[in-house]
A and B are shown apart, each in its own frame.
Chain A
Amino acid sequence: MKSSSSKTVLVMGVILTVLSACATPTPAPTPVPPPQKMRLATTTSTADSGLLDNILPDFEKKFNAKVDTVAVGTGQAIELGVKGDVDVVLVHARSSEDKFVADGYGINRLDVMYNDFVLVGPKEDPAKVKDVAAAKDAFTAISKASATFVSRGDNSGTHTKEKSVWTAAQITPTKDMSWYLSIGQGMGETLLFSNEKKAYTLTDRGTWLAQQSKLPNLIIVVGGSTIAENKDKGLLNPYGVIPVNPAKHPGVNFDLATKFAQWITSAETQKKIGDYGKDKFGQALFYPSR
């Protein structure tokens, strides 16, 4: 009894499959090749800003491509490029980028855009650094006051920038200092942590704007409310796009990666980048390099 009814189902299934295969679809005017795949490694803060979700569809349509974005820490993003696991890298850590190219893993680096970093801290501002012009002076004050400071501690672009400010202030914070907390996590987590601890931390403006509503205990203390108002030029954060060198990894889609680099630095896309965020946050999140 059972086997005969399952046989019926099988036969019906075969008939249906054959019928649907025979059914001719409405013929397309010209055959469309399947989209090319391109893997892009970028940082979590870049992905979190939402910029890529906003502009990538344009690239995908123009070039019949499908972009797989892998968002990881800066170090890991570069490492993915070194290994050839991605076709192109988009990060904001100049020294790491230069090393990436110098070692031959990346080729034809282009400037894309820049945003800035701001120092955020508790409303109570125990170190009294609100509206200080230079970040290094604020850092010095924080160190002197032993006010809690949270570092990303993960060699990301933000962390690298933070370290350079400490260097400018001629201070070397270590984990033995109880006010300096190095937590080795992404920007979003670091901001939430700082909110919880009511501590100071350096953040890129984009993530700050996106997360602000979840961070009731924090305000911007150094950097002003827009990039234009940021008095510390050292807090500017440039982004670079680097296709992976096909000489090192012949399997990468170098052609499409190059097209991507050119497209993202084209006048049209650069304008889009400069407009992104205005409607949502009342200000641009990024400044185009051109």
Chain B
Amino acid sequence: MSQRSRNDPVVTLDRNFWVVTAGFAVLSIVGVIFWIKFPITQYLPAAVVEADEIDQLFRFLAASSTVLFIYVVGYLIYFSIAFRRRASDPPDAIGVQVHDNHNLELWWTIGPAIFVIVMAVFSVRIWYGIEVNNPGNGLTVESIGHQWNYTFRYPGVHGEIPDAMHLPVDVPVTLEVTSTDVIHSFWVPAMRLKADMVPGAINTLRFTPKYPGTYAIICTEFCGVNHSVMDKQTVVIQRRADFDKWYSGWVAKTKNVSDALPKVGAGAILLTGGNAAAGQKVFAATCSACHAVGPFAQRIVGPGLKGVLHDPAHPTLVDGDSASTDNVAKILRNGYAGSMGQMPNQTTNRLSDKDIANLVAYLDSLK
């Protein structure tokens, strides 16, 4: 085969081929202009800064692949018509016996390779801006997926907010999502962003809201019989003043709501003299089934507790109180029940006051 291919006939392309090729170029230009001018945001608003970048990427991909598609399918149709067997051809007519053309094959390997490199650079740049180098440190919000609704947690607000997620414009947001039952997904089409809500893990989205408005949150991971209707809640992006008003309303409303469990014991636990080494033993025996000594996101049942008292990204505890030794001791004493899980109280966990002091000392030592 390789020997014979040296005997291939010399290929000459006729005028029609070049006319058609030029025609495809014109079509391609029209296609590219269409995608550049295409008003995506007319169909779907871009609510966050990141959405514009993803739209740019989409435009680039759509425009370049339109060109590719026009040429491939264009030649396909042109060759099909131009080289069809005509009635006048003898029954044993054969085509031009050309086997290969190394230059051509080299170019259509290099060409797509260059296209892939350009696309990769473009994608990686945007990916880096969204996934890696995105500060998102203005406001940390949590969203928790349930069958079949979302709840939201804000620092300083006790408990969970059930209806909608409010965000102020121009403040970088870190959104941490998880689930209490099955995998859900947090998708806001207007933000072009999505994160799966995986039970036992915390996934993060970082973005900066830009346009005020109310946008639907839609679940895209199948989550059971009512998955289809898990699209009723919204993200409300609003001006700073409006957001502050809404936020302080929730802070005030939940101010006196402490945890739902009955109080165990009375008075503060004396935390002085806690021994971190002894606390570590208690932790291994009692707590480690549900808590990892790892970052917050390393959840087993409850969150990872490494740096629970020293994590600037999580200044509040699961119950919304600020992260202080006293408040940790309070959770250890009273237990916790909420969407982040269930934690038994001091009696059920068979912890003495001394154990709690040791545990707090141990947790405090984890930085």
A and B part of one assembly: no
Name B's A-contacting residues (CB within 8 A): none
